[in-house]
Chains A and B, each alone.
With several copies, the nearest count.
Chain A
């Protein structure tokens, strides 16, 4: 897409100057809203970066857009970059963020159907668990089983794609005993289906990345623009931590159509975001996930260091300045 700039080796330093009118195509709806609300869009404009926003997020959609070369970067969790690699689309992660208190602010909890008792992960033995092989929820289930010391044969995995609220419905109608549901949906689930419950997984599922087409990172002009964007994105996340109400209003209410109360709930469950000082921990976790999936789903071994572009690591940390998180939280 667009007139390609000069080729930039992946080892070369990121250029500092953005050629005027460089356009990057980004699918990052939450940050889009935050950037607008926080005034950070001015910073982008001042740097000469033109962002063409796409309301695209999630694995399948972003991979489709990448393949058609209609998108440069998209915000996703950790799984999509693995699948992109396995299916032959070369991407690089240019941004990593975490949740400051990940275990108490998980993305997913394990929903438990009404009338089923699951108090701990060990109780999963013999249960019917919703499983969707290609989605983050699927990977989570595998990791949960691994942590519980169970194998796939100890439970019944029910192949079920998570679209919309299909897992909530499946739980409510007792089609499955256990299913990973979004933490934000737990309250709705419990209200809808009295007797339904949910337990924490105790597993970190807070990986959050911005991944880009390798060819876009190799485009000198786009790389320069992305460097700016990564910095702005870090600031945007910090702004979001500092202005939960502004974030709730700009994104959850105005673009996602939630009511004010629901939006507040979502912000509360999401928890504060952290910019890690280094990506080391994140990459370790990513490698674990890659290994688990490779083993469980008969895929090639993958070296996740080939999936990241660590030149952006310091850019991100610098932008966060003193607010970077370190240690176990990172």
Chain B
């Protein structure tokens, strides 16, 4: 079980007892890139050897060409920006609302019984089917789109924050009760930091949900946006453009997710878990 390992890194001998590591061990540097590069490699290899027919999935190089075309001829940047704008606005409202609702329902059983059920039911129901309602309430313009995205991204924020909050060790609440702290301070000093790991996980879902929500909302009366671009390309059977859209989704989703995880590592420096 225990082996002796000599590390001659320095002139001074360093013989430690090295126990078999059961946790995941150290982070591999640049591991961030391995997944995407692997995927790209498989895709390229499949396309080059003909295993992946271009009818099913356009080859990477053709996607690059299509990307260039979209960029120069069809204002891809504009599409991306207007999508990001929508997603960011919706996400912002969703995070705010989800966070507040989670704290209210997390800290009060009454609040929970009023808030929790409707949110659970909302999330069980396909968003696509709710769009007619939203159209009736918020019109067919930007407002409806942002509300829809906000409601989509509210759900993971709410559930994860609520769950994280409820998972806080009861001893910390006891402590807070004995030091004569008010509700507000309790929320600020114990609830929010204690629920932060949960919230951050929720963020990872909220970010991708808000991007995916674009596909749904941009089918309705949109004149720009990645979702709109994909919908159009589907109509005309432009596989390469669809794949351009998917790649953009993948890149944004992956980067946003990684960014949230990075932030998580920074702000959760107080934890000592298997992650470290």
Contacts and interface: CB of A to CB of B under 8 A. Distances in A.
Bound pair (A, B): yes
Interface of A: 27, 54-56, 59-61, 63-65, 67-71, 83-84, 86-89, 132-135, 158-161, 163-166, 168-170, 172-173, 175-176, 182, 184-185, 188-189, 192-193, 253, 255-259, 262, 266
B142 interface: no
B56 interface: yes
Interface stretch (B179-187, B198-206, B226-234, B259-267): B226-234
A184 B131 contact: no
A68 B136 contact: yes
Interface of B: 53-56, 69-70, 73-74, 128, 131-132, 135-137, 139-141, 219-223, 228-229, 231-239, 241-242
B140 A87 contact: no
- The secondary-structure label for the interface of chain B is helix
Contacts of B233: 257
A70 B140 CA distance: 7
Contact of B232 (A56, A87, A193, A257): A257
B74 A168 contact: no
Given A67-B56, A166-B132, A175 B234 contact: no
27 contacts: A55-B221, A56-B221, A59-B237, A60-B237, A61-B219, A61-B221, A68-B132, A69-B136, A87-B239, A132-B235, A159-B221, A159-B222, A159-B232, A161-B231, A165-B235, A165-B237, A169-B131, A175-B135, A188-B236, A192-B55, A192-B237, A193-B55, A256-B236, A258-B236, A259-B69, A262-B236, A266-B236
A274 to B, nearest CB: 24
Contact of A175 (B221, B231, B235): B221
Contacts of B222: 55, 159
Contact of B140 (A84, A170, A188, A266): A170
A70 B70 CA distance: 30
A61 B220 contact: yes
Contacts of A255: 223
B131 A166 contact: yes
A257 B70 contact: yes
A309 to B, nearest CB: 21
Given A70-B139, A134-B235, A168-B237, 5 more contacts: A59-B235, A61-B219, A69-B136, A89-B55, A170-B220
A296 to B, nearest CB: 13
Contacts of A168: 237
Contacts of B70: 257
Contacts of B69: 259
B223 A55 contact: yes
A63 B140 contact: no
B238 to A, nearest CB: 6
Given A68-B132, A165-B132, A83 B221 contact: no
B128 to A, nearest CB: 8
A22 B149 CA distance: 32
Contact of A259 (B73, B235, B237): B73
B132 A87 contact: no
A164 B219 contact: no
A164 B74 contact: no
Contacts of B132: 64, 67-68, 165-166, 169
A189 B135 contact: no
A189 B237 contact: yes
In order of increasing CB-CB distance, the 8 nearest A-B pairs are A134-B235, A164-B234, A175-B140, A68-B136, A192-B55, A87-B237, A67-B55, A161-B219
Contacts of B223: 55, 159, 255
A91 to B, nearest CB: 11
B219 A54 contact: no
A71 B235 CA distance: 18
Nearest to B238: A87
B201 to A, nearest CB: 32
For A64, A67, A158, the residue with the greatest tally of chain B CB atoms inside 10 Å of its CB is: A64
Given A88-B55, A89-B55, A160 B221 contact: yes
A54 B221 contact: yes
B132 to A, nearest CB: 4
A87 B55 CA distance: 9
B177 to A, nearest CB: 50
A61 B140 CA distance: 10
Contacts of A84: 237
Contacts of B237: 59-60, 63-64, 83-84, 86-87, 89, 165, 168, 185, 188-189, 192
A202 B235 CA distance: 23
B16 to A, nearest CB: 57
A241 to B, nearest CB: 22
Contacts of B220: 56, 61, 160-161, 166, 170
